[in-house]
Amino acid sequence: MEAHTRTTLAPQTWRQSLDERLIDHATGADLDGYVWGVKWQSLYPGGSVITDSPRAEAWRTELGIDFHEVRLTANGHELSLVFSELAVSKLGPDYRPWQPEP
């Protein structure tokens, strides 16, 4: 029902990360700044359930079904999701959402 995202980078890091070469790992790896084009993010420190979430409670009140909020914090972004149901699949160690170029 809701998805929110915000940066976890400090303003100084953002100022150092405006060079367009940082959108590709091949051209940005040796530059100062955050390399945006890595095609992945480290899920650190990780995910957590927001107990007593005001957002989830508001949806529950409006629709009369249970809602939940989770926060996923990665090395560059924080995602907050409010939902009524969620299916989670365990992926094997060989799973890749993208394939590296040969």
Answering whether pTM is above 0.75, one says no
Q: What is the pLDDT of residues 43-102, one digit of tens each?
A: 888 899 999 999 999 999 999 999 999 999 998 899 999 999 988 788 888 888 777 776
Q: Which pLDDT value is given to residue 88?
A: 79
Task: Give yes or no for residue 6 having a pLDDT over 80.
Answer: yes
SS3 labels along the chain: CEEEEEECCCHHHHHCCCCHHHHCHHHHCCCCCCCCCCCCCCCCCEEEECCCCHHHHHHHHHHCCCCEEEEEECCCEEEEEEECCCCCCCCCCCCCCCCCCC
